[in-house]
Chains A and B, each alone.
Chain A
């Protein structure tokens, strides 16, 4: 990606030694594939140390578990690459899941699917409208719709949980195709669609452009308003789809479905290497991060680690992964300073150099 180049200020007259180039490549590699590699390593370690991890049933359940946050995270990745983000996905998820379960009971699977996705799209449209035309910062706009949608869901549902266990519907959350869980297949499909959107469409290029430099994108003729609205609609559509899967998985959905879901989704995207500042990010990272979080929960469960400790571990993993870059920069600074000091000590500064 050419975006990469604009991000690193080049020092004039800096010698292009092989060392600096390697240094930069490591950054890029870590950003692109770091989390995927970490996930694979954790799977290997878990397989060797945790009895019960490396059997098909368990792996299937890990993959299934990763899908519910993952589908929403696909949309959120696109939003965060564009430098926006959406705090309303938790409320939207509860609303869509409740609607999906209720409609599935009345009319069947495909109407449920349509209603969930449409509702998600409508919330996204509102968000996009508020951010692009009314010009409210995404953080505040989606914070507002978060409260609004949450309240509306409570009013519409009257605080009640909808339940439905019809076979064709719950298959979407619990079924398997060729040994793979249906939600994971949907998640995979969504991730591929996300990659296609980001790298094969003009919309995707606009997303990267807006995220790297909004003003420049505007000057270059990127339709900011249209793109922004579409971004939030995409987030809503994916969230609606993920919500339906979760409703199907649980056979039920109510207004207080998953408190803190929005922050989980954002954490997943960020752990996957997407920059909150925008302009950079990858779908592979998001998929890996979703699987990583699900794996962690699973491994900790298998080792009988208490649910409260699990929260601490999850937070620590997020902080560790995100501080790698800062720590490395600190170390590099330290080594350069040290090298400078030793070279100064060995060669006293000559007067003509001063």
Chain B
């Protein structure tokens, strides 16, 4: 993809911050309910589900890959956990869910590294397979949890926000301050060179895909805890939203840094539109416009500076 497309198409983090401030200011003026603690908590909760996947996706994109299977993985892990909570207890079930996600990720990684299938196609295939697996596992029915207040803890109060922040910190630390993180960035910027200097890129990618799988699973757990229902159709289309949010947050598709501001921005806008009683149909329009507008501004700005510097 990027061979054909020049330029670093990325949004500057300062721009995202600025947009966030403007949007928040506008909603505060337009709606009296916006700037209340309860509502801000809502915003953060809904931002955190996509943010959690987005963080994993940032890692994948930093390593020069995509993972299109995250929506399916989230659904599958959610269903596995929900079905196990009654039998083996909350904490083991959560671990089992995360392990499910990590194994799906590991399989993605193995297909990419061992069979030489490009990540886009490998994870596209897995998107279909894992979605099918989730539906087979549940038999297409909902799994309800009655009276399981313990499991609800994953989605109540500040839990999702804290999870997202903790994850952001951990992944930031891994990317910036560990050898594994440097190897991820090296693999992302030039896999062949990385191999030459002794980075075991296959192992790096296996690690990255497993982490992405686990984060996808975590978001699936939060989602299913919100409604206390496991469903094979959960999180359909999450993969493209996650990629959009990652791009909006300032991660270039060619490798880079972690940022969760994108998902907060999208959540703020969606929440504000809800408060203003604007139809839910407009939410996709705003996401599309934001994505295109932000990248276009950046791309055009880039071109202008280039025209100025080159004779």
Cα distance A309–B121 when bound, in Å?
Answer: 20
A136 and B9 contact, CB distance less than 8 A: yes
* B241 CB, min distance to chain A CBs, angstroms: 8
B295 and A308 contact, CB distance less than 8 A: no
Cα distance A266–B125 when bound, in Å?
Answer: 11
Q: Which residues of chain A are near B288, meaning CB under 8 Å?
A: 144-151
Which residues 132-162 of A have a CB within 8 angstroms of B? 134-141, 143-152, 154-155, 158-159
Q: Taking A136-B296, A140-B9, A151-B283 as contacts, is the C-beta distance between A211 and B4 under 8 angstroms?
A: yes
With both beta carbons as reference points, the residue of chain A lying nearest to B239 in the complex is identified as A263
B129 and A311 contact, CB distance less than 8 A: yes
Cα distance A278–B3 when bound, in Å?
Answer: 9
B240: CB under 8 A from chain A?
yes
A267 and B124 contact, CB distance less than 8 A: yes
Among the stretches A167-175, A196-204, A322-330, the one at the interface with B is A322-330
B243: CB under 8 A from chain A?
yes
With both beta carbons as reference points, the residue of chain B lying nearest to A134 in the complex is identified as B296
A284: CB under 8 A from chain B?
no
* B4, B114, B236, B300: residue with the most chain A Cβ atoms closer than 10 Å: B4
Which residues 174-231 of B have a CB within 8 angstroms of A? none
With both beta carbons as reference points, the residue of chain B lying nearest to A88 in the complex is identified as B288
Q: Which residues of chain B are near A325, meaning CB under 8 Å?
A: 116
A318 and B121 contact, CB distance less than 8 A: yes
Cα distance A157–B240 when bound, in Å?
Answer: 23
* B133 CB, min distance to chain A CBs, angstroms: 6
Q: Taking A147-B288, A147-B291, A151-B282 as contacts, is the C-beta distance between A315 and B299 under 8 angstroms?
A: no
Cα distance A323–B287 when bound, in Å?
Answer: 35
Q: Using an 8 Å CB-CB cutoff, how does the interface string of A73-91 with B read, 1 for contact, 0 for none?
A: 0000000001111010000
Q: Which residues of chain B are near A151, meaning CB under 8 Å?
A: 281-288
Q: Taking A135-B299, A311-B129, A318-B128 as contacts, is the C-beta distance between A148 and B289 under 8 angstroms?
A: yes
Q: Using an 8 Å CB-CB cutoff, how does the interface string of B122-160 with A read, 1 for contact, 0 for none?
A: 101111110111011000100000000000000000000
* Interface residue tally on B, bucketed by range: 35 or more
* B114, B128, B295: residue with the most chain A Cβ atoms closer than 10 Å: B128
A154 and B3 contact, CB distance less than 8 A: no
Q: Which residues of chain B are near A136, meaning CB under 8 Å?
A: 9, 292, 295-296, 299
Residue count of chain A within 8 Å CB distance of chain B: 60
Q: Which residues of chain A are near B279, meaning CB under 8 Å?
A: 154-155
With both beta carbons as reference points, the residue of chain A lying nearest to B126 in the complex is identified as A315
A contacts with B: majority SS: helix
Cα distance A277–B118 when bound, in Å?
Answer: 9
* B146 CB, min distance to chain A CBs, angstroms: 25
B18: CB under 8 A from chain A?
no
**Partner pick for A311 among B9, B128, B236, B247, CB 8 A cutoff:** B128
B124 and A143 contact, CB distance less than 8 A: no
B115 and A323 contact, CB distance less than 8 A: yes
B25: CB under 8 A from chain A?
no
Cα distance A211–B247 when bound, in Å?
Answer: 24
Cα distance A216–B117 when bound, in Å?
Answer: 27
Cα distance A267–B120 when bound, in Å?
Answer: 10
B4 and A329 contact, CB distance less than 8 A: no
* A217 CB, min distance to chain B CBs, angstroms: 10
Knowing that A151-B287, A267-B121, A322-B115 are A-B contacts, what are 14 other residue pairs whose CB atoms are under 8 Å apart, sorted by A's residue number?
A: A134-B296, A135-B300, A136-B9, A136-B295, A140-B247, A144-B289, A148-B285, A148-B292, A149-B288, A263-B68, A315-B129, A319-B121, A322-B118, A326-B115
Q: Which residues of A contact B (CB under 8 A)?
A: 82-85, 87, 130-131, 134-141, 143-152, 154-155, 158-159, 210-211, 214, 259-260, 263, 266-267, 270, 276-278, 306-312, 314-316, 318-319, 322-323, 325-327, 329-330
